[in-house]
Amino acid sequence: MIAIFKREMRAYFTGVIGYVFLASFFAVAGVVFSYTTLFSLRADVTSYFTFMLLFSAIILPILTMKSFSEERKMRTEQLLMTAPVSITGMVMGKLLASYVMYAGALLFSSLYFLILIPYAPIKLAVLIGNVVAMLLVGLVFISIGLFVSALTENQLSAAVGTMAIILALLAIGLISSLLPTEYWLRFLLDSLSVFTRFQGFTNGYFDVASLVYYLSVAGIFLFLTIRVYDRRRYN
């Protein structure tokens, strides 16, 4: 797994995609931070992270789109499956590499709030809540990206497919607000909604169910990715 992780990290920093991801991430983070705090004259943590959540829904599919689809396209997939590493190890290695890229960028951009300390007290609990929520949401989005990437050899299809699933998970919570729904259906939709769960963390509200939700959704997609490769290995 570590070997796969190192290989992926090397690929990010010797190829274009890593730099494109980081440059785009920090460009948007800088502009959004300036717009939501500096030029608004408010130490508003929640608005910044809400924007970054929506941006992550676009940028993370681009980060993950070539994870497996590139391997299939270049026919190096066979090498991976016959390598002395389990499929789980392979998937986890790729997950870890993408996650480290994302988490590193997120944590570094969270340091921007240090700029505001001389001007207003920062609500640390809300900041930590937002960062934790973004890390969990990122894990989910990357897992979805890996799964969709494993299904196709076309990187663009992988990116678009990932964005579609992510946006569907984000939009689920809106359905109960916009359409007449029974209470049990509303409860179900809110339970499945990434955004509804995210809002709790942004208010400094740490809830076991939401933590389990994010980990289990990520777990499901990783499990499905492993299943895809498990089937492919025996074909």
Partner 1 sequence: MNNTKRNPSAEAITVLVICAVIVLNLILGTLVKSFGLAVYAEESVDLSVGDVGDTLFADAIEKGKRVTVTFCMYEDDVAAHSTGKYVYRTAKEFEEKYPDFIELNYVNALTQLDASGRFFDFEKYKTDMRGKVNKIYTTSIIFECDGVYRVITDAVTSAGYADFFTLDSSFVATSYNGEEFFASMVAWVLNPEHGTAYFTKGHGETATLTLYNLLTCAGYYVEELNLKLREIPDDADLVIISNPRSDFERAAAGSTVRTETEMERLHTYAQRGGNFFVALDPYTKSLPVLESFLSEFGIGFFETDEGERQIVKDFSDAITTDGFTLVTSLAAGEHTAPVREVIRDGRVIIKDAAALALSGEAKPLLTASSSAVCQSGGTTTDTAGSYVLAAASSLANEDAESAKMFAISSIYLAAADAIITNGYSNKDFIYSLFDTFFGMGDMPYGCRSVVYDNQILENLTMGTARLYTAALVAIPVLIAAAGVFVIVRRKNR
If you search the block for the tokens 């408010």, which residue do you land on? 42
Question: How many Cα atoms sit within 13 Å of 30 on the Cβ side?
Answer: 6
Of the residues 13, 74, 78, 107, which one makes contact with partner 1 according to CB under 8 A: 13
Size of the site for partner 1 (CB under 8 A): 71
Q: In the range 81-120, which residues lie near partner 1 by CB under 8 A?
A: 112, 115-116, 119-120
Q: Contact 143/194 with Cβ under 8 angstroms?
A: no
- Candidate list 2, 11, 14, 51; residue touching partner 1; CB under 8 A: 14
Cβ contact 32:50 at 8 Å: no
CA distance 100 to 102: 5
Give whichever of 15 and 107 is closer to partner 1, judged by the CB atom: 15
Which of these ranges, 3-11, 38-46, 51-59, 83-91, lies near partner 1 under the rule CB under 8 A? Answer: 38-46
Contact 65, 156 (CB under 8 A): yes
CB of 158: closest distance to partner 1 in angstroms?
21
Tell me how far, at minimum, the Cβ of 138 lies from partner 1, in Å.
Answer: 19
Nearer to partner 1 among residue 154 and residue 206 (C-beta) = 206
Q: Which of 75, 82, 84, 208 binds partner 1 (CB under 8 A)?
A: 208
179 binds partner 1 (CB under 8 A): yes
Least Cβ distance, residue 90 to partner 1 (angstroms): 18
Residue 38 DSSP label? I
Q: In a 3-state reduction of DSSP, which class is residue 90? A: helix
Instruction: Kindly state whether residue 224 participates in binding partner 1, applying the rule CB under 8 A.
Output: yes
The tokens of 60 are what? 């993370």
- Could you say which of 65, 106, 126, 158 contacts partner 1 (CB under 8 A)? 126
Cβ distance to partner 1 smaller for residue 75 or 231: 231
CB atoms within 10 A of CB 213: 19
Q: How far is the CB of 13 from partner 1 (least distance, A)?
A: 7
Task: Confirm or reject binding of residue 168 to partner 1 (CB under 8 A).
Answer: no
Q: Three-class SS of residue 193?
A: coil
40, amino acid identity: S
Provide, rounded to whole angstroms, the least separation between the CB of residue 41 and partner 1. Answer: 5
Distance, CA of 149 to CA of 208 (rounded, Å): 30
Helix 155-178, helix 45-64: angle, nearest 10 = 140
